[in-house]
Structure formats: structure tokens, C-alpha cells
Amino acid sequence: MTSLQQLSDRLAIQDLITAYSYAIDFRNFDELDDLFTADALLDFTATGGVAGPLPEIKAWLASVLPMFNGHQHLVGTTKVVLDGDTATSSSICHNPMYFEKDGAQQLLYVGLWYHDTFVRTADGWRIAKRVQQKGYMHGLPLA
């Protein structure tokens, strides 16, 4: 039987996953500081990004995302495995992104999985590691 603590932990972890999507889609990158541990490592190389600590990832996001007029993270089908004060999860993400090319809107569809490691801290659950696994990319401009 699932305990109240386990339910609470799962909801807190789900809230982190959701808050990440909102921070990225609304380009509020400083909000990421409240979601990740100070020593968190992120790896976005599977979809053409970079890997490194959170400050480097925030700088990279701020330099890359402005080329897109908009994007939305649809994250779901999350599997959480709790292990005391640590947890792991895998979540599916569908991320359409649009940009202007030759005066017309172009769409890039990115499908990926987020593989996360969480730790319970004095401030609650935080993401200690996030790794992307590419599922698909469709609509990449050829020139």
C-alpha cells in the first residue's frame, strides 16, 4: 500500500517536472535555481544541446531559445521510482517549437525522454541530474 509520504513525494517530484517546463517555455531561467541542486548536472546533447552544470545550461538556453518564436513542453507518462531520500524518473516530452523562415512559420517537433535523478534536501525535493534521450526530431530546416 502506498503511504501518504510516498504520495506527497510523488506529487512534489511531479511539481518539479511541471515547473521546469513552465520555466523553460516562459523563459524564466532563474526559476530553475529552485528546481535543481546547486551541483546538478544536465545533459541535453541527445537533441543537439550541451551538457554541464546548471549555470552553463541557463546561459546556453538564454542564447539558443530566442531563435524560436515559441515552444511548449508537453510532459507526461512519468514513471517515478522512490528510494527513501532519492528518486528517479523517466518522462516523455513532446516539444513543438516554431520559428520564422522566409516569412513563413516553420515547425520543429522534438520528442524525447527526460531521465531524472532527485534528492530530498532541506528545501524539499530537487533535481540532481537530468539527461535527455532523443526519440525523434521532425521538421528540421535543411538550409
What is the residue extent of each domain of the chain? 4-138
Tell the CATH topology of 4-138: Nuclear Transport Factor 2; Chain: A, (3.10.450)
Segment 7-59, tens digit of pLDDT? 999 999 999 999 999 999 999 999 999 999 999 999 999 999 999 999 999 99
47 in helix, strand or coil? helix
* Confidence band for 142, pLDDT divided at 50, 70 and 90: low
Residue 33 phi, psi (nearest 5): -60, -30
Segment 68-78, tens digit of pLDDT? 999 999 999 99
* Confidence band for 115, pLDDT divided at 50, 70 and 90: very high
Is this prediction's pTM over 0.75? yes
Torsion of CA 90, 96, 99, 105, to 10 degrees: 170
